[in-house]
Structure 1
Amino acid sequence: VRVDGAGATHDLLTHLEALNTTRRTVRYLVGWTITDLDEQAIGRLPATAWQESITQDGDLQPGYHVAELTGLNQRQGWPQGMRLLVRRVRPSARHRKNLTAFELRTGWRYSIVVTNIGRMWGIAGSHHPQWLDALARAHAVVEDRVRAGKAMGLANLPSKDWTVNSGWMLAANLGHDLDCWLRLLTLHDQDGLDRAEPDTMRSRLYHLPARLAAHARRRHLRIERTWPWARAFVLAWQRLTDLPALA
């Protein structure tokens, strides 16, 4: 379970811990609001505690560092075994106005993630701060998906009726899922389309400048020859039809 800083509450973490049973293990990575006590603990970290973080592909990220903060900042009332991982990065210009006095003095911008993940069986390196930091940062795509969901119809609800709006949200989310799967399965190697936003997909593929004609008891889709995305559309169609049918 990955949650941003809004999830750093006693009730949520206690609830997640309570979900653990003999047959189920619930692991979490939750953002943490940094306090003065946290900054004091960060200040006590030796230089050797910081290690370069890694990307989602496992490559090193020069200039980005992560360290284990567990044990330097004793917290009362939080779940036993909770770990604190701190990440630092040089602040950009847009972040400078929000830096704390400690961050201005050190020249770094800090963020903390708490987790109950130790060593996961069968996953090498799963207990290392670098691995857990990369796992937590994969949650960042949620903001992109929320933005895309709004572009697919969630920005405005059509009615004052709850049932109508529920149906609208279901249809919008289904459309969003289909859009994601289409790009994943058929456009993954097409530059400009593999990560295209919904508006781009509409203008290039979904709003098709073509004519459906019938001849000799067959239907033909006649695509405008000058349309620059005709080849991509045909490729996506062929790949979709080549997918094996579900048993």
Structure 2
Amino acid sequence: MVGHAGTRLLTDLADKTGLTSGFVQALGSDRVRRSVHEPGRVAVDLAVLLADGGEAIADLAVLRQQPGLFGPVASDATAWRVLDSIDEPALQRLRAARAAARELAWAQLVETRRLLPATTIVGRRLAGFVLDIDATIVLSHSEKEAAAPTWKHTFGFHPLLCFLDATGEALSGLLRPGNAGSNTAADHVVVLDQALEQLPEQHRYGNPILVRCDSAGSSHAFLAHIRGLREHGLHIEFSVGVAIGEPIRTAITAATDWIPALDSDGSLREQAQVTELTGLIDPAALAGFPAGTRLICRREVPHPGAQLSLFDQVNGMRHQVFATDTPHSAGMSTQLLEVRHRAHARVEDRIRTGKTTGFGRFPSRQFAINQAWLELALTGVDLLAWTRHLLLDGPLALAEPKTVRYRLLHVAAKISRTARIATLRIAEGWPWTEHLIQAFQRLGQLPEPVP
């Protein structure tokens, strides 16, 4: 009998997408004598462990104690040594291996499902890709390198992350000290550039790309970098939150052409309106934004517990403003642009579930090891996303990681051997047995990576 039988899906999927071979090559050793455990294979096992819900290197025991299911798995000490060996050049090679595996996974997805997932608003598919950037606080309960007091009066780290909205894939992440600024343009540039490198080249240059952030991403330097990417052949736009200063408050007070806001399903949202402020704002206040930037405001009756500024309290409405360089010629109304930007809130769910997939805690006192851990956690998020899109259907294809783990990955099974053939027998009465069997069958039918 074995546990976590469905987790074998993740291990095999890493092989099928070329992730394992890519990691082995990225962390290959120049030593004449090959090690018992390839460093790249150990890194994949750690990514699988994190995707499976493990939180510490010691949790490798769950895989190690089941060699009939997972094969030979490295000891904790070996895993520590592998993490310790991952320097910045090795991280870059791991990122390149992830990008290559993503390219193959997308090709397999197009071949088997005919279409890549797309971001939708009010039932309308958006062309291209939507990248969501956001930061989060990860607490540290002990002294670790670069752990520091945070703006929330806690102690830990302040990583900055980028997710692909349509698929939930984790494109990039930058581990930062707890006191790192929320709106540091240089960090946003690094995370965005690494995220763009993760998109397969034929998709990166052949489709529109939208970058969404909250107000932390509205620094003029970051927006100028996004606009500058157009000179490199990218069709890229932004939609970022904007802090409400005096010029914007003046424009809000002067605005008269408010129209009803929309809910995510396209219906009118009660007690909420939107309007464009661009023509009402002092041009000097827009001087730092790229040419063609538009400012759009949403106001609504505040819900219980909403945090209101003094301006909001006086007016009795809660106001939110965002900037976008999507032109009027794109054919999107002010209402649709506002719904599109508000969908950035989905990144909060990506971060919440990502914290249960590895980057909710960091294991080491050394910053470099924790940065490597973050990269493997992002890999684990990708493995779960590819599993859902390539191998699952129905509600499970949309399920959060916890649901996938409890229903599929953590199922018990029995390994039987007959005529040198090993068979994994899953309990017939388990409600999701057929889903798991179908997932293994689809896995076996995926095109093999070219060596």
TM-score by length of 1: 0.82
| 2:267 alignment counterpart | 60
In structure 2, the CA distance between the partners of 1:238 and 1:156, relative to structure 1 (3 Å rule), is same
Kindly indicate whether the alpha-carbon contact (under 8 Å) linking 2:258 and 2:273 is maintained by their aligned counterparts in 1: no
| 1:39 alignment counterpart | 249
Q: How does 1:147-186 map to 2 (within 5 A)?
A: 147-186=352-391
Tell me which protein shows more helix as a share of its residues. 2
TM-score by length of 2: 0.48
Identical positions, percent: 35
Could you list the runs of 4 or more consecutive aligned residues of structure 1 that deviate by over 6 angstroms after TM superposition? none
CA distance in 2, matches of 1:235, 1:25: 39
Does residue 129 of the first structure (1) align with residue 334 of the second (2)?
yes
Secondary structure (helix, strand or coil) at the match of 1:19 reads helix
Q: How does 1:186-201 map to 2 (within 5 A)?
A: 186-190=391-395, 193-201=396-404
In structure 2, the CA distance between the partners of 1:221 and 1:61, relative to structure 1 (3 Å rule), is farther
Deviation string 1:60-104 (CA, Å, 9 cap, x unpaired) is: 342243211111111423223221011123321121xx2234433
CA distance in 1, matches of 2:235, 2:432: 47
| 1:20 alignment counterpart | 230
In structure 2, the CA distance between the partners of 1:222 and 1:188, relative to structure 1 (3 Å rule), is closer
Kindly indicate whether the alpha-carbon contact (under 8 Å) linking 1:54 and 1:131 is maintained by their aligned counterparts in 2: no
| 2:308 alignment counterpart | 99
User: Displacement of 1:135 after TM fit?
Assistant: 2.4
Q: Over aligned residues, Cα RMSD in angstroms? A: 2.5
Amino acid at match of 1:228: P
Kindly indicate whether the alpha-carbon contact (under 8 Å) linking 1:85 and 1:113 is maintained by their aligned counterparts in 2: yes
Secondary structure (helix, strand or coil) at the match of 1:93 reads coil
| 2:97 alignment counterpart | none
In structure 2, the CA distance between the partners of 1:62 and 1:138, relative to structure 1 (3 Å rule), is closer
Aligned length: 236
Secondary structure (helix, strand or coil) at the match of 1:172 reads helix
Does residue 81 of the first structure (1) align with residue 292 of the second (2)?
yes
Q: Structure 1: which 5+ runs fail to align?
A: none
| 1:70 alignment counterpart | 278
Deviation string 1:130-156 (CA, Å, 9 cap, x unpaired) is: 232232223222221112211111112
Deviation string 1:179-215 (CA, Å, 9 cap, x unpaired) is: 122223333413xx34433233222211121011111
CA distance in 1, matches of 2:217, 2:371: 25
Kindly indicate whether the alpha-carbon contact (under 8 Å) linking 1:7 and 1:31 is maintained by their aligned counterparts in 2: yes
CA distance in 2, matches of 1:216, 1:20: 60
Amino acid at match of 1:100: S
Secondary structure (helix, strand or coil) at the match of 2:305 reads helix
CA distance in 2, matches of 1:107, 1:45: 16
In structure 2, the CA distance between the partners of 1:22 and 1:143, relative to structure 1 (3 Å rule), is closer
| 1:115 alignment counterpart | 324
CA distance in 2, matches of 1:33, 1:227: 51
| 1:228 alignment counterpart | 431
Secondary structure (helix, strand or coil) at the match of 1:87 reads strand
User: Displacement of 1:109 after TM fit?
Assistant: 1.6
